[in-house]
Amino acid sequence: MKIVSLSENLNIEKRIAITPDIAKKYKSLGFEVMLPKDYGLHLGFDNDHYKSQGVNIIENEKDLLVDSDVILQLGLLSDENLSSLRENQNLIGVLNPFTNKEKLQDLLKKKVNSFSLELLPRITRAQSMDILSSQANLAGYKAVIESFACFEKAIPMMMTAAGTVPAAKVLVVGAGVAGLQAIATAKRMGAIVFATDVRMASKEQVESLGGKFLTVEGSENLETEGGYAKEASEDFKQKQEDLLSETLKKIDIVICTALIPGKKAPVIIKENMIKNMQIGSVIYDLAAVQGGNTAYTEVDKLIDRNGVKIMGEMNILNKLPISASSLYSKNLFNFVSNLLDKKTGKININLEDEIIDKTLVK
């Protein structure tokens, strides 16, 4: 069985799907690992790093797809490479089936097996494969670092002979994996942290990290069976808006992480709220790539509205590509290990396995 990964467009994606240490693990499972020349060079992994782990380095990247069995990527391949795929090949990555539906249906007609790891079920056995959690964890951390770097005041309280500098107040909107890591990071750096989420189950988690959970009066639990947030009612949205409007007047830094899978990000922080925020405040919007949680978010731009800075990036993990690649490649390895029939050494698409059934694009 041959496992490959093609180089990503480095202008868009700096993460990689196979690190040298993970390549060694694939070899131990019986795979032949093939990668293009200079595949991980931008992260400090030169060709010799991979060769020392038994990887075959291929000069012509197009040759990789010809007889490969498993293709591991971050996102969907280019149209040219997609057209080269054949029956019974297995494509695994973050395929974004909501926006790439037509392309994935074309692969289905060609009998290519496409596995999109955003669709992993939230079950205990899938935790080691959960790319959303591993990547969101890093994103939440980095969002805090980036926003603090943009904030022009000290973060922790400082008592000096010249007077006291008050601790910065941070609000985290959305207490999923990214939000919880943002809370923990901001708290460690000395900020006073508040958080809000439509899922009431988040309250205990927020408070365990030292944050204060802002509760909307008469809250409804807006959580799907899979553990994701779902759309709120108009009444709830109005109550949340009123609470946020008052809270934001006293907040220095906001980290937005609210996303609904497959849909445009909900606009939570409206124009009038930003207008009433303190001059010098900073908003980091992790939902920027799906439209943003604020009225003014623009991808890869720093927007200044009435002295409030609003920022959000296409891919914040490009600023942590080595750590992100390490975790992502381990997630993929665990997923592939689950797909592999240890007796035959072949890929076994067992649809009775919930992990396989949920992630296979049908």
Q: Of 349, 333, 332, 331, which Cα lies nearest the Cα of 341? A: 349
The active-site residue, picked from 122, 128, 278, 323, is 122
Residue 122 annotated as catalytic: yes
Catalytic status, residue 130? yes
Structural contact between residues 236 and 222, judged by C-beta atoms closer than 8 angstroms? yes
Query: How far is it, in rounded angstroms, from Cα 322 to Cα 325?
Result: 5
Q: Which neighbouring-strand residues pair with 195?
A: 172, 213
Nearest to 255 by CA among 122, 136, 119, 354: 136
Catalytic residue, candidates 84, 127, 233, 238:
127
Distance, CA of 219 to CA of 238 (rounded, Å)? 12
Q: Is the dihedral of CA 76, 79, 83, 84 positive or negative?
A: negative
The tokens describing 95, both together, are: 């395929």
Is residue 173 packed enough to be buried (19+ CB in 10 Å), middle (13-18) or exposed (0-12)? buried
In the residue annotation, 73 being an active-site residue is answered as no
Any residues with CB less than 8 A from the CB of 347 and at least 6 apart, and which? 1, 69, 70, 90, 113, 339, 340, 341
Place of tokens 């937005």: 256
Please name the residues in contact with 141: beta carbons below 8 A apart, sequence gap of 6 or more: 181, 182, 185
- How far apart are alpha carbons 283 and 254 in whole angstroms? 5
Residue 338 CA to residue 272 CA, distance in Å, equals 50
Q: Nearest Cα to 2, choosing from 39, 47, 34? A: 34
Catalytic residue among 68, 130, 147, 252: 130
228 is catalytic: yes
Burial 42-65 (b: 16+ CB within 10 A, else e): ebebebebbeebebeeeeeeeebb
The answer to whether 69 and 15 have CB atoms below 8 angstroms apart is no
Question: Which residues are known to be catalytic?
Answer: 122, 127, 130, 133, 228
